[in-house]
Amino acid sequence: MKKNYFKESIDLFLLSFKKININLIYPIFYDSLFYLTAGFAFVIWLFILKSQSSLLRDTYTGIFSIDFSSLSALDLNYIQNSIPIMRNFFLFAILSVVGWVIFITLITSLFKGPIWCKVCREKFTIRFFIKFFLLNSIWLISWLAAAFIIAVGVKEDIALYIITLLIMLFLYLTHFLCIFFAKNKKLSAIKGAFSFGIRKIHYFILPYLLAVIVFLAISQLYWVYRLLPDKVEIAITALIFLAFLAWLRAYIYDVFIAVSKAGYIT
């Protein structure tokens, strides 16, 4: 590592603020659509889940109140009628998992795709969207499968730490995944994300540490507007958070380019 690594990293960090302009509205707009769509879908899903859970709870309460030592014809009929209810709930649970994976992948590709194309100076097209959707599907399912295996196969106290590290690694590598794909439009972006992200991780410790400091600093702005009406307070908080995400993407992309270029931060 060159002796000027620290200076070059700080210069790149300071330069990222000079690049902040009206174009920040673009990622904020698409990020807003992503979170609003996901939130609206989540509310609908909770409403359906509540009705399904209430029905299942009443069914189980009725079953456990039955005296199985002396079953009557009425009891048998109730148990028989309860089977479809329990089957439908578990089917709903399975479809919910599958549905959420597909839905999140879909809106990620639809709303995050244009953002990364803008950051990487690429064009967002229908073909890009379809391939990006496939890439995100493979990526998300793979990480969820890994988390499930860890949750099931590892002791609970240890699994929690491993899954936390897994989430951090997922968030860290996803930036590189999107950059590689925006550049080459190939599923090999997965290999590129892992290869580059792991090999060059030491070059991103300082940038992410600086990003955390920025996040902690701007979070203190809450004390400036905390006495405003709740809706205004939430709106301002959301806007600040989305602006931070927009800045972070552009900053990490600049670091990525700098690290990739021979002779600069190498």
Lowest mean pLDDT among 106-120, 121-135, 221-235: 221-235
* Across 231-235, average pLDDT: 92
Q: What is the pLDDT of residues 76-91, one digit of tens each?
A: 676 677 777 778 878 8
64-94 burial: b if 16+ Cβ within 10 Å, else e = eebeeeeeeeebeebeeebeeeeeebeeeee
1 pLDDT higher than 50:
no
Q: What is the pLDDT of residue 2?
A: 52
Higher pLDDT, 122 or 80: 122
* Across 114-121, average pLDDT: 95
**Read out DSSP for the chain?**
--TTHHHHHHHHHHHHHHT-SGGGHHHHHHHHHHHHHHHHHHHHHHHHHHHHHHHHHHHHHHHHTS-GGG--HHHHHHHHHHHHHHHHHHHHHHHHHHHHHHHHHHHIIIIIHHHHHHHTT----HHHHHHHHHHHHHHHHHHHHHHHHHHHHS-HHHHHHHHHHHHHHHHHHHHHHHHHHHHH-STTHHHHHHHHHHHTGGGSHHHHHHHHHHHHHHHTTHHHHTTS-HHHHHHHHHHHHHHHHHHHHHHHHHHHHHHHSTTS--
265 pLDDT higher than 70:
no
Q: How confident is the model at residue 75 (pLDDT cuts 50, 70, 90)?
A: low
The owner of tokens 């009425």 is: 74
Q: What is the pLDDT of residue 92?
A: 83
Q: What is the rounded distance in angstroms from the CA atom of residue 170 to the CA atom of residue 39?
A: 22
266 pLDDT higher than 50:
no
User: How deeply is 116 buried, as exposed, middle or buried, from its count of CB atoms within 10 A (0-12, 13-18, 19+)?
Assistant: buried
Q: What is the pLDDT of residues 242-258, one digit of tens each?
A: 999 999 999 999 999 99
Q: What is the pLDDT of residues 139-197, one digit of tens each?
A: 999 999 999 999 888 888 888 899 999 999 999 999 999 999 999 999 999 999 999 99
Q: How confident is the model at residue 128 (pLDDT cuts 50, 70, 90)?
A: very high
Mean pLDDT of the chain: 88
* Across 204-224, average pLDDT: 94
Q: What is the pLDDT of residue 39?
A: 95
* Across 129-144, average pLDDT: 96
Q: What is the pLDDT of residues 13-67, one digit of tens each?
A: 999 999 999 989 999 999 999 999 999 999 999 888 888 777 777 776 766 666 6
